[in-house]
Every structure is written in structure tokens, then in C-alpha cells.
Amino acid sequence: MSSRQRGISRRSFLRSSAALGTGLVFPAMVPGRVFSKDVPSQHITMGCIGMGRMGQGDLRSFLGFHDLRVLAVCDVDRNRAEDAKRIVDNAYAGRGEQGQGKGCDVYGDYRELLERADIDSVMICTPDHWHALPAIAAARRGMDIFLEKPLTLTVEEGRLLSDTVQLYGRILQVGSQQRSDSRFRFACELVRNGRIGGLEKVLVGVDVDPATGLRPSMPVPEHLDYEFWLGPAPWYPYTEDRVHPEKGYGRPGWLRVRDYGAGMITGWGAHHMDIAHWGAGLDRWGPVTVEGSAEFPRDGIWDVHGPFEIKYTYENGLQIIFADNKKNPQGIQFIGSDGWVRVARGQITAEPQSLLKEVIGPKEIHLYKSQDHKANFLECVRSRRETVASVEVGHRSCSVCLLGDIAIRLGRKLRWDPAQERFMDDDEANRRLSVPMRAPWTLG
Amino acid sequence: MSGNWRKFLVLLGMGAGWLAANLGVGSWAEGLLLEAKLEQRHLHVLVDGELFTTYCFQEDQKYPYFYPVNGPVSGLSVTTESSEPYPHHRSLFFACDKVNGGNYWQEDLLAGQIVSQGPRVIQEHGKQVQFVDECLWNQPGQEPVIRDLRTITISAPGKQLRCIDLLIELHPLVDVTIERNNHSLFAGRMVRELSEHGGGSLVNAQRDRGEKGTFGVPSPWCDYYGERQGVVEGMAIMEHPSNPWFPTPWFTRNYGFFSPTPMYWLPGDRLDLPAEIPVRLAYRVVVHAGDTNSAGIAALYGEYSNLPEGMPIHAMRFQKLLEEALAYQWGQSRRSLLSMEKILKEAHGDENLIAFLERAMIHALSGHASRDIKQFLCHKLSEMGSKKAVPVLSSLLMDMETFDMACFALERIPGKAASDALIHALHDLDDMSKMAVIHALGQRKDVQALPALFSLAHGTSPGEVRASLLALGRFRTEETLDVLMEIEREQVWGLDLEHARLSCACALLDAGLAEEKAGDGLRETLDHSGNAAVRLGSLHCLLRAGHQDALSLFLSFLKQEEETVAASAAGWAGYLRGVEAITSICGCIPVLPPSVARPLVETLGYSQDPRQEWIEREFMESLSHSENEMLAVAAVRALGRIGAGESGVPLAWLATKATPVGEAARESLSSMRHPGTVPLLLGFLKEGDEETQLAMIQILATRGERESVPLLMERTETGPARVQKAASKALASLARQEDLDPLLHLMVSLQDDSIRKGVEDALMTILQGASSREEITGKLLAMMEREKPSVRISFLSLLRRLGGMEALEGIRAELRSKDVALRKAAIQTLAEWEDSSPMEELWVVARKDKEEAHRVLALRGMIKQMGMPSERSHAQSVKWLEEAWKLAERSEEKRSILSLLPRFPCDEAIQLAQKAVRDPQVVKEAKMALETMVFEGEVGFDFQPPGSVLEDGFIEVHMGTLFSENGRYGWDAPCKGERDRKIGSALTRDLLFDASPRTFHVKLSNGLYRVRVYLGDMANFHDQMEVGAQGKIVLQGITLQAGEVKAYDFQVEVLDGMLNITFKDGGGVDQNWTCAGIWIGQ
């Protein structure tokens, strides 16, 4: 095909670079209008829901982005909400960017925060049982969402959240920040480009939670709206170790209570199984069988799993063994026919070691490159491009862990249909894909 | 009466008696008559006049027991009073071992005895007899530890059945601990003929058989039976469900022993029975004719236990746990709940067991259980309940305390019954609860609930309407959509209505149902909804479904909606395909705000259709010049994706820019796969201007294009300097073995070092990757030989990088060259060698070369190499440094030498440094060297007047050697005097002395040292000399005659980098201390 550059020969085009500023003729279909430059970028505004241990950390990170403005914070624990407000106001005061008079707004009810027309996006760092409802509501209000992992408490919630976010064209980033870490990406690229030969097995190792004893019920602290904190979860009398520390931001007990979270199986699993899928090229999919066993606390108020081992098999024959880190080293190890690569936070090893010096060529598979997880979210809010850890990816990474939790609680091998997202021939297992909600909360 | 008549009457009477006995006449129809006869030490129980069993309680018995226990047909005891093996077993008995250390099972009475206090008959005759007994468990002479009260009831429910019911209440009189043992509680020992050994059978309630099958297995009963002299008889022992360890595991043996007992399986290997807390145990023994089945043992157990016949053992256990947990309060131990969960989990697949378990839970929910246990049970029913649970759950819906959990459970139980219950409940519940039920119906997607939901959706209560709308949104039926579309959009629930319509319509479209209707519904929402998110969702759905108006709807949306909303939708252009669509989209872009145009552009460039490609490409090419940088970048990326060869031209032009657009262009070209790309790039490299060439080089290198190597070599050779450098750098990543020769020639031709470096790098990459170093070195040297000196120079750097002895030899050879430049280059190369192999050569050059520049070069190299790791001793290294020092004329070299000194701490180094201190050029560095040198190993100081004979290896210290000046060692203040006595060894002949205390400091690295001081004077007497170290006295009262110089040793620990030795005169006749020297070692 000959050049369509009418009126300019190829040679002269090449030689006279200096003269070529605006001399090129536009094809006829496009009027000669010059596009305006971007207006200086306006802030993305954000409301933050869930100002506990992780939420505060994420808030501080987001405050570091000067093209973002946090307008409101929300927590059912008034002390925590106030602390968060102070952090926001101090940050902006320190930059000489005083807000309008009263500074950052404080809410106890996230629904009020979501009503605000001046908020573009939300950050959600609540306990797991409170992930789906605010996120779905935010999506329906046209907001973009940064949601801490694991995506949801149940598979059903995750499916609905993913469908809603996609339907309404929202941008969602799951807090699986390992996808923005070059070590993890490199390890996965090595696998995807066949550097360890054919992938045969993946070993994933994570921490587990301790058990604890019995606790008496206690009076609800005056600063905590406990009823709201429970939300859709079944009612139990209040005791501190089942919720979060009344003072300070130590590790909260709810992490070990099945009504609120599944334990480290999703807490860490959502990170490491996510990477396992990424490296194996199984994003947005799932296993075909899952079986496993676990120890559970013999008493006490905490009831999530202890040491465990789960085996997943996939359609292509791949096996993933997901276990506590006494059985598998913490992190992910991809084992192939010609070697292996193991990656964890801050470390990557391989056999042969020379793999670590490999360069992935331009014609090979390059995975989504993100340098910073929160920056990627903000970029995608502007560009409307999918984030590195999008909602469907987050849903499938979370689901695979939840399937494992179901398997260890039922103690038998289960067959899973990743297309329909149902267990095959097992009504009892399928019932556990959802958890009912206490009135007035509904997953409508 | 005659004798014959009398005989006849007797016979008649006997016959009548026989008939009466065997025809069930009179009271036998309801069981046989029993009689209890208490004697001195026996209590006999007769059934129908025949002895059935005797309760034996003699004083010398270990424990009371039953013997015989006669079979109903044979009249012979089915048990044995004593048999091998284990002759201590007594028929049918209750006993125990390891009770507070006592043995109430076997061995002699001293170890323990259960002593009957004498039974008392309660019921002497009738259909049953009953007696009680009190027993004390004690060791002789000691207080009893347990008092038990036993009630024994014996009956004969049928001709072939006999029952012994034993209820025994153990009252610990003190705290009792029973340790794990294999001696049981209530036990039976069958006669040999009826034992397994003798051909008999042992079976439990689960139909496990034999010792093997029953040992350790929990079961409510076991039956041991066999055939003896043609008669089948047996004995079953049953355990009442109220027993503490029910269902208890069994200790069974094939020689006839069997007993339900926890003792062999105690958790923690012990059982603690606190004082005053009674333990109740109940058993029934059934002595029967026939086997287990014909005697109906299972049914008899049902009667005894009040449990349904056929109830699985795990259900019994579950029942028991549940009964114990009925008052459960949150906060208490969850163990029984966890045990129940385990039984439920393991019941999977056993429909019979599951049915029992469910029944038990339903029953508990119907009764007086705590709220908290009801919550638990509802949770379990939600996981595995069936329609059978629906009635009780429905009733719980009406109680606010249990509503939530009951609703949960009903929500998840499939089937009509649950739906009906929920629907029915709607009538009677308050608003909040109603909403929960509505939601549950929506979750279930129960079509039969639709009429109720429709009705609610048309209501007026906002909460109910909203809940039902959301519930309806989950259904995918046409009818539902109809209803949703006809409901008025009221303010209060307008948004929920729209979401519901959207959900429903989307679900229908995705399923390919009612497409037209669903599409119309979505159109309506799109046109009329006041909510942007809903409009977005509607559009997305329509696009996804490929609606006929998708394109026009999309374009209008983009144009009419507010910017951020439109931007959200822009990415969906990917749903629209075809030439018409792409043309329209491209035509639309110019009128859209950039934030909307950009995501739109990013969806382009993925098509395989050539026409579409052409349109996109045309458009992107123009767009790539947009003043809006973001758009231009997006367009350039799109061009890269489109990848048709001709995009290369404008991209190549853009690639020369140092802007984000330029970078995007380079990225695009780097990844473009079109086969025409590379020729295009090469063409531009050949003919383009400088910027273009630079851009092309970067792209070709990123792409790893080997075919560009020849051209790159050309560009390295000639061209603008920047291009040459870039080209040579690119070669480094692209060159391969086959390029070796041309690269060598290229290298040789280059003058500029910075350009040549790239070529050298390329050569190194090839050389290192390919043959052995020797081979390559050989090849290079061979090539070098043929060349003239100016060319040979260029090989030297490569040889240096290769390293190795051969290369070194080759370079050394050039030292002899007559060509000055070549010689200089050779010296330079040797000076930069990676190790110290060329040091000697360099020394020679540094001494002898005619050219000063060469000498300095060589000296510098030599000094540098002295600092490299080697096997030399410190002294040897310092010797080299001394040689270098001699040759050093400029302060730079001197300073370099001094900076190396501290690495070799030894006397020679100190001396050199001391010498250097006198050189004004470098006095500062010399002092620094002295200061930083730390003594290692040993050091000796010879105290003497300056110039006196110095002890070998020792350092001279005179009266004025001050630490403050020296920095390494010395006195705190000058000593009074110094003398050379001229007799004795170099060390002992001379000394220093003072009347006042003086401290000698030595800078030493921390550690433990041995110090030797040489005190005394070859000429004079001195008394009461004292020596201190680190402030502590280590030597005292040293008195020496004239001519005596003695060595004294002590240990010192240096903790702060300094050793301080103080000399003092402690009084006496002579007023001085004297010291000839010190030696310090480790």
C-alpha cells in the first residue's frame, strides 16, 4: 500500500523534521480543528469508609497524592473517625491547603457519605462482612472504588459486586498490591513465558491465626455503634476480642471470627492465590476440584481455621497446593518441568538461579505493569482503563480461597464449575456460597 | 385307694402341672413370677421357682457379683465364676482399678475391696423383684473413698428372657482420681462354650462382630451368645443413654469378656470425680435364648432407652450433646457445639443419620432451649436442613428473638414448603421483619413468590415497596419486568425501582430471553432515568446485548452526557464493530472533550478487519498530532496496536520527539509486529536525520533486531557522534558470535574511546558467551600481531577486560615496543589490571622508563595494585610501599602510599610513616596513617635513649616519646631520665626511669593481651616498684638488685582501644622505678 500522505514525499518527510511541525495534512474526514490541551487536572475527590488499622494506613498513602482530595471519612467507631479526620486536616494544613472552614467531614453511616454529589470515589477498608454492601452501593451511585482485599465475605457477594461494577462502568481496584510489585510480576512473567518449562504445580504458603479462650460479654463502648458494626452479620453480645481494640489500632479480633472474615485463608490467600493465578494464566477462572483438611480451635470465641492444607486441580491438570506456612514456605512457588521460581514479599529465588537475570523480550508476554497500586487506581480513574487488580480478578482470587474454606469445613472433595460458579451435585456446599443477612440489610 | 389309682392321680397332677407350666396359663401371659430369697451371704432370685441368679456378697469377696446367671432354657450359667485366662473375673460384676491408687478389680483385698453393707430386699416377689445394697470402697484399715448405692431390679419379660437392671450411684467421699487402665466397670465374663473362642458370637448395636470389630467401638449394647449342648443362649449388656460417657466404647475379648467402659480411653489418661458429686450409671443385662436377632435385642434396647429403634449411634451421641447444651449461653464453652458440628459434618451421605439429627434439632427448637442454642441450631439447619424443619422454623419467625436466624434458615432451605412459610409469614410480621422476608424471597428467586412480591411492590409502605422492588430485580421473568415497568417512579423508591428494572432487564438479555421487551425497558430507562449511573448501566446492557440501536445510542450518550459519565461509557466502544461503527466513532471523537475521547481511542486498534484498520489508522495518524498530549499518546498507542506497516512512517517521525508522544511512539514501534516494521525502521536508520537515527537505534535495540547489526556497525563507524555512540551501545545488546570479526575490525578503526567502548562491550558479550578465554585470547593476540602499533593499541583494552595470564603476557610484550604510544598504552593497561600480577613489571617501568609520564603511570598502577588482596605479609607489602615511596616524586603518589599503610600495620609501616612525617608535603597524611594504624598481634617497645641499641623487632621509646605527639604509643609526660648501661642485651642494657608515676599508652584493638614488663637496672638497686594496668595494680613491691632485669607477665583486657601501663615507685630506699622495655602479645 502506498503512503497516504498526499503531497509529501517520503524522503522529504524524513529529512525536514524541523519544518514538519504542523505541515502534515489531516485526512479529510477530520476537520482541521486542533484539540484543546487538557485543563490543569482537577482533583479526584474521595470518601474513606473504615478507618481502622488498615484504613488509616491506606488513608495516609492516599493523602500523599496531590491530585487527590479526601473530603470525608466514615467509621462506626467515633474515635476512629475523629482520628482520621485529624489526619486529613493536618495533612492538608501542612501543605497549606486548608479546606473550607470545617475541614474533612465525618460520618458514622456510610450511606450518608455516598449521597454526596461532590465525591468521585471511595476507599473501603471495613471488616470483610462490610465490603460488599458499601461497594455495591457506591457503584450504583457512579463512584469508583478502592476496596481492600479480600473482595468479599462470600462468593455470591463477589459475583454480584463484580457484575454491578462492570455494569455501571466503574473503576475498582482491589488492595492486592502485590500486582504492583515488580518481583511478583517478574516471577509471573518468567512462568508465563515458559522459562521454567511447563508449569506443573504451584505451592502457596500463608500464616494462620491463633485460637483463643472464652470471653465474657462486655458493655458496648460508648463510642462504638455496635449494632451498625455488626450490620448484616448475626447478632452476638459485644466482647472486645470479637471486634477491635477499644483503644489503639492493634490487630483486631474480628479477623478470627467466621461471621466477619474467613481467616488467613482469604487474608493472605487473597494475595498469594491471586499471584498463583496470575502466573498460571488463570485469572478470571477457577479450579474444577477442591479438597482439604484443617484444624479448628477446640473452644473459645475465635472460630476461623488453623493449620490447613488444600489441593486445587484445574482443567488443564495444574495443581495448586495451598497450605499454612509450616507446610509450604510463605509465598508462592511455581514449579515447572525445567525449574522453579519462588516469590514472596521482598524476595525472589529461582532454580536455576540464572532465571533471575532473564530479560523478557518485546515479543513475549508482558503482564500489566503498575508501579504503584494506588497510583494505578488514580490513573485508571482518569483514563477509565481497567486497573491491575480489577473487580473480576479480585472476585476470582477471593472465591478460590472461599472454596477452600468450604472444602475444609465440609471435609470432603468438592467439584466446582468455574463457568457457572456453583458446586456440582452438592447442595450443602452450594448453600455456603452465600450467607444470609440480618434485616434491614439486604444484598439486593 | 388302690396303688394304681394313686399313681394315676399323681401323674395327672404332674401332667396338669406340666401343662400349666408350658401353656402360658394364668399369669405367664404377662411375664413370669419371681422370688427373692435373702440368705446370710447370698441373695437368690428365682424365676418360676427355678434359680435364675444369685447376688453373692461374701466378706472375703473382692466385690459383690452375680453368679450363676442361668440361661432361660438350659438352666446353666451363661457366665463363669472363674476361668482361665484371668480367673479373677467374676461372672457379672461391677468393679474398678486405679482408684486413688487402689485396685478394686483384682489382686488381694489389701489393694482394695468393695464391701457390701448387706442388701435389703424391697420387693420380694411378683413380676419383678428388687433389692438395694450399699457398698463401701476402701482399703483395709483406711477410710472408704467411695460409697455406692445400687438398686437391682430383676424381671422375666418372657419365657426366654431374663432382665437384670442395675442402677448404681457412685458417691465419692473424697476427691477421687481414676487413672487410665484396662480394667473396666460393669463387666460380664461368658462361659468358654459361649465365648468367641468356644464358637460363640459377639455383636454390637451397629452389627460389628467379634473382639476385632467391637473393641474400642462406642455402642449402646453388646450381645454375647453361642450354642451349648444344642441350646443357643446369650447375654446382652445394655447401657442407658443417660450414662455419662454414653455411648461408651467397649472392652471386649474373644474369651468371653465384655464391658462398656471409658477407662481405657480416658482423655488426659485420668478421670477426676470430685467429692460429693454423685455419678449415676444404669445398665440392663438381658439373658436370653436364641441369638441377637431372635431375642429382639435391638427392640428391647429401644424399650429400655426410650430411643427409637434403629437410631444410629451418632444420633444418640448428638442427642445427648444437644440435651446437655439446651441451656447454652454465648460466652460458655463451645465444646459440645463443636462436637455436634463434627457429627453433622461426618453425617454427609448417611441419609438415615441426617434424618435423625435433623429431627433432634427440630425437637430442641420446639422446646425450651436457650436463645443462643436456637441460633446455633437454626444456623445448622440453614446449612443442611430440609423441608421437615420448615414448621418449627416458621413458628420461630414469630418470635423476635429468633426471627433473624429462622429467616436465615428458611431462606436457604429449598422447596415449596419454605417458600410457603415465608410468604405466609408476610401477613403477620412487622415492617422490618417483613423486609427481611421479602429479601429472602428475592434471594430464593422463587417464582411462586412473585404474586406476593408484585402485590407488595404496588403497595404504599416505602420499606416494603423498596424491598420488593429489589427482590423482583433478581428475577428474570418477562412478567416481572412488566410489573416493574408499570410501577410509577415515585421519589422515595425511584432509584430502587430503576435498579430493579435494570437488573431484571439485564438478566433477561444476558439469558437471551424476552429480548425485545427487555431492550425496550432499557431504552425507557436510558431516556428517562434521572440517575446517571442507571443510565450508564442501561447503555452498557444494550451494548452488551448488541441492540440494533446500540451505535446511535452510544454516540448520543457520549455527546449528551456530562463529561465524567460519558468517559465511563467511552471504554465500551469495544462492543461496536464494523466499518460503519468505527467511522462514526472516529467522526465523533473531534467533538468530544479529551477526557472522553481518550478512553474511546484506547478501545481502537484491535480489529483484524483491514477496512476497519484503514479507517482507524487514518484517523489515529492525524490525531497523533493533536495538541492535547494525552490524546496524542492514546492515538500513538492505538497505531502501535493497529500495527499496519504504514503506521510506521508517522510513528517514526513522532519517535524522534523527546516528549510523552515520542516515547509512546517508540514504545509502539518497539512492539509492533507487522512484518514491514523492521525494514521501515532500517530504512529510516539509513536515511533519516540525526534524531531519527537515534530513535531508530533505540527501537531496534529494544526489539532485539539482529538484522540491524550491519547497519549499526556502519553507523558506529561514521556519522554524527551521538549516533555513533548510540549505535555502538546498541551493538552491545545485539551482537552475536558471527559478528566477531567485523566487530574486531570496527573496534580497530575507532579512535574515540567512548564510541569504542560500546563495540568492546559487544565483543565482550560475544567472547564471554562463546569459546574459552584462552582460545579467544589466542585469537586476539594472533590478530594483533599482524597489525601496526596504532591499531594494536585498540586491542589492549579488550585484552585487559578478558584478563588471564595469556592476555597479560601479550600486553607485557608490548612494553618492549619501540612505539612510544603503544608502550604507554601497554603501561596504562597494566596499571589498570584487575589484580596485582603486573606489579613487578610496573615497578621496573617506574624505575627505569625514560619517559616521566610512563614512570608516573607505572608507579600509580603499582601503588594501586599494592592495595589489592594478596598473600604477602604486612612487612612484605610495606617493603613494596617503601620502594614506591622511593620513586614517588609527587605528593599525589605519596599520599596514595600513605593511605594504604594502615592496611599493613607493622613496625615497618610505622617506620615508613614516621619517616613520612618529616616530609612537609604529606605530614598530615603521615600522621593520619600513624593514627589509624592499629597494632595487631605483638608489639615490643625498647625503652632507651635515642640511638641506643634497639632490640630486634622492638620499637624505640625514649623518655620524650609522647603519646600526644605520636598518636600510637607514648608517655603521658616526659620521663625523668634515660640510660644506656652498656652491659646486657639490647633490651636490658638500657632503660628509662622516673621518681613520679608515669603512664605509657598504646593504642590497641580491644581484646585480651599478655603484657610483659622488664623491670630493673643493670647498674643499680631499686625497691618497691609498682606497675598498674588499666588503673588497677598488677605488680607491687618489686625489689631488684643491681644487675637484675627481670620480666614480669600479666594479663590485661583492653575495652576502649587503649592500653595504659603505669609505673610507680612505692616507697622504700630507692626512689625510682626503672623499666627496660615492654612486650605486648596475645
pLDDT in tens, B582-630: 889 888 888 899 889 988 888 888 877 778 778 888 888 788 888 888 8
Which of A22, A120, A168 is the best mutation test for B, with the most CBs of B within 10 A? Answer: A168
Q: Under an 8 A CB cutoff, do B439 and A216 touch?
A: no
Q: pLDDT class for A12, splitting at 50, 70, 90? A: very low
pTM above 0.90, yes or no: no
Average pLDDT over residues B930-936: 69
Look at A214-228, B679-693, B737-751, B841-855 and tell me which has the smallest mean pLDDT: B737-751
Q: pLDDT class for B647, splitting at 50, 70, 90? A: low
Evaluate whether residue A404 is within a structural domain: no
**How confident is the model at residue A200, as a pLDDT?**
96
User: Strand A121-124 to strand A44-49: parallel, antiparallel, or no bridges (unpaired)?
Assistant: parallel
**How confident is the model at residue B132, as a pLDDT?**
96
Can you list the alpha helix ranges (DSSP code H) found in A22-121?
53-63, 78-94, 110-114
Is the pLDDT score of B476 beyond 70? yes
CA distance B536 to chain A (A): 6
**How confident is the model at residue A35, as a pLDDT?**
45
Residue of B346, B470, B622 with shortest CB distance to A27: B622
Q: pLDDT class for B941, splitting at 50, 70, 90? A: very high
**How confident is the model at residue B6, as a pLDDT?**
55
Distance of CA A246 to the CA centre of its chain: 27
**How confident is the model at residue A208, as a pLDDT?**
92
**Grid cell in block for residue B546:** 448488541
Q: Under an 8 A CB cutoff, do A22 and B629 touch?
A: no
Residue of A3, A384, A410 with shortest CB distance to B571: A384
Residues forming a β-bridge with A199:
A336
Q: pLDDT class for A163, splitting at 50, 70, 90? A: very high
Q: pLDDT class for B7, splitting at 50, 70, 90? A: low
In the stretch 132-171 of chain A, residues with CB closer than 8 A to chain B read 139-142, 166-170
Is the pLDDT score of B81 beyond 90? yes
Q: Under an 8 A CB cutoff, do B330 and A234 touch?
A: no
Neighbouring C-beta atoms of residue A114, cutoff 10 Å? 20
Q: pLDDT class for A39, splitting at 50, 70, 90? A: very low
Q: Under an 8 A CB cutoff, do B571 and A298 touch?
A: no
CA distance A24 to chain B (A): 8
Is the pLDDT score of A21 beyond 70? no
Residue B154 contacts by C-beta under 8 Å, 6 or more apart in sequence? B34, B36, B45, B52, B53, B128, B129, B130, B162, B163, B164, B165
- Spatial CA neighbour of B543 closest among B570, B561, B513: B570
**How confident is the model at residue B474, as a pLDDT?**
86
Evaluate whether residue A126 is within a structural domain: yes
Q: For position A38, which CATH number holds?
A: 3.40.50.720
Task: Count the domains in chain A.
Answer: 1
Q: pLDDT class for B400, splitting at 50, 70, 90? A: confident
Residue with cell 458440628: B341
- First and final CA of chain B: distance in angstroms? 137
Average pLDDT over residues B921-935: 79
Is the pLDDT score of B158 beyond 50? yes
Look at A192-206, B49-63, B366-380, B937-951 and tell me which has the smallest mean pLDDT: B937-951
CA distance A7 to chain B (A): 14
**How confident is the model at residue B31, as a pLDDT?**
66
What is this model's ipTM? 0.87
Q: pLDDT class for A409, splitting at 50, 70, 90? A: very high
Evaluate whether residue A319 is within a structural domain: no
Buried/exposed code over B839-876 (b: 16+ C-beta within 10 A; e: otherwise): bebbbebbeebeeeebbbbbbbbbbbbbbeeeeeebee
Q: Under an 8 A CB cutoff, do A444 and B540 touch?
A: no
**How confident is the model at residue B309, as a pLDDT?**
72
pLDDT in tens, B798-835: 888 888 888 899 999 998 888 888 999 999 999 999 88
**Grid cell in block for residue A364:** 513475549
Q: Chain A contacts of B399, Cβ < 8 Å? A: none
Evaluate whether residue A272 is within a structural domain: no
pLDDT in tens, B1000-1044: 999 888 888 999 999 999 999 999 999 999 999 999 999 999 999
- Helix, strand, coil percentages, rounded to 5, for chain B: 50, 20, 30
CA distance B424 to chain A (A): 18
Is the pLDDT score of B448 beyond 80? yes
Tell me how far apart the alpha carbons of residues A422 and A432 are, in angstroms, rounded to a whole number. 10
Average pLDDT over residues B33-62: 94
What number of C-beta contacts closer than 8 Å exist between A and B? Answer: 208
Determine the angle formed by the axes of helices B416-425 and B390-397, rounding to 10 degrees: 20
Taken in order B816, B818, B823, B825, the sign of the CA dihedral is negative
- Name the DSSP class of B939: E
Average pLDDT over residues B750-774: 79
Is the pLDDT score of B632 beyond 50? yes
Q: Under an 8 A CB cutoff, do A439 and B433 touch?
A: yes
Interface check A235 vs B, CB under 8 A: yes
**Grid cell in block for residue A116:** 454526596
> Which secondary-structure segment (H or E) carries B928?
helix B923-932
Q: pLDDT class for B644, splitting at 50, 70, 90? A: low
Q: Under an 8 A CB cutoff, do B405 and A26 touch?
A: no
**Strand, helix or coil for residue A117:** coil
**How confident is the model at residue B935, as a pLDDT?**
67
- First and final CA of chain A: distance in angstroms? 56
Residue B904 contacts by C-beta under 8 Å, 6 or more apart in sequence? B874, B875, B877, B878, B881
Tell me how far apart the alpha carbons of residues A78 and A153 are, in angstroms, rounded to a whole number. 24
Most confident range, picked from B339-348, B493-502, B779-788: B339-348
Comparing alpha-carbon positions, the chain A residue that sits nearest to B701 is A362
> Which secondary-structure segment (H or E) carries A39?
none
Average pLDDT over residues B279-290: 96
**How confident is the model at residue B1082, as a pLDDT?**
77
Residues forming a β-bridge with B700:
none
Left (φ > 0), alpha (ψ -120 to 50) or beta: where does B24 sit?
left
Residue B696 main-chain phi, psi, to 5 deg: -65, -40
Residue B487 main-chain phi, psi, to 5 deg: -70, 140
**How confident is the model at residue B798, as a pLDDT?**
84
Interface check A100 vs B, CB under 8 A: no
Cβ B811 vs Cβ B840: under 8 Å: no
Tell me how far apart the alpha carbons of residues B105 and A5 are, in angstroms, rounded to a whole number. 110
Is the pLDDT score of A381 beyond 90? yes
Tell me how far apart the alpha carbons of residues A243 and B1012 are, in angstroms, rounded to a whole number. 71
Evaluate whether residue A311 is within a structural domain: no
Q: pLDDT class for B656, splitting at 50, 70, 90? A: confident
Evaluate whether residue A23 is within a structural domain: yes
Give the percent of chain A with pLDDT over 90.
79
- Spatial CA neighbour of B106 closest among B135, B70, B72, B82: B82
Is the pLDDT score of B143 beyond 70? yes
Tell me how far apart the alpha carbons of residues B748 and B767 are, in angstroms, rounded to a whole number. 16
pLDDT in tens, A50-81: 999 999 999 999 999 999 999 999 999 999 99
A440 upstream amide cis, omega within 30 of 0: yes
**How confident is the model at residue B551, as a pLDDT?**
93
Q: How many residues does chain B have?
A: 1082
Q: pLDDT class for B25, splitting at 50, 70, 90? A: very low
Evaluate whether residue A78 is within a structural domain: yes
Tell me how far apart the alpha carbons of residues B35 and B48 are, in angstroms, rounded to a whole number. 8
Q: What average pLDDT is seen over chain B?
A: 88
Interface check A352 vs B, CB under 8 A: no
**Grid cell in block for residue B31:** 411375664
- Helix, strand, coil percentages, rounded to 5, for chain A: 35, 20, 50
Q: Chain B contacts of A167, Cβ < 8 Å? A: 502, 506, 537, 540-541
Q: What is the extent of the structural domain holding A97?
A: 3-178
Q: Under an 8 A CB cutoff, do B533 and A409 touch?
A: no
Q: pLDDT class for B27, splitting at 50, 70, 90? A: very low
Cβ B369 vs Cβ B399: under 8 Å: no
**How confident is the model at residue A2, as a pLDDT?**
35
**Grid cell in block for residue A245:** 481494640
Q: What average pLDDT is seen over chain A?
A: 88
Q: pLDDT class for B740, splitting at 50, 70, 90? A: confident
**How confident is the model at residue B1069, as a pLDDT?**
86
**How confident is the model at residue B936, as a pLDDT?**
62
Residue B372 contacts by C-beta under 8 Å, 6 or more apart in sequence? B328, B329, B330
Q: Chain A contacts of B567, Cβ < 8 Å? A: 384
Q: Under an 8 A CB cutoff, do B334 and A296 touch?
A: no
Can you list the alpha helix ranges (DSSP code H) found in B511-562?
515-528, 532-544, 550-560
Which of A384, A387, A437 is the best mutation test for B, with the most CBs of B within 10 A? Answer: A384
**How confident is the model at residue B91, as a pLDDT?**
96
Evaluate whether residue A151 is within a structural domain: yes
Tell me how far apart the alpha carbons of residues A97 and A113 are, in angstroms, rounded to a whole number. 22
Q: Under an 8 A CB cutoff, do B331 and A34 touch?
A: no
Taken in order A14, A20, A25, A29, the sign of the CA dihedral is positive
Q: Under an 8 A CB cutoff, do B626 and A35 touch?
A: yes
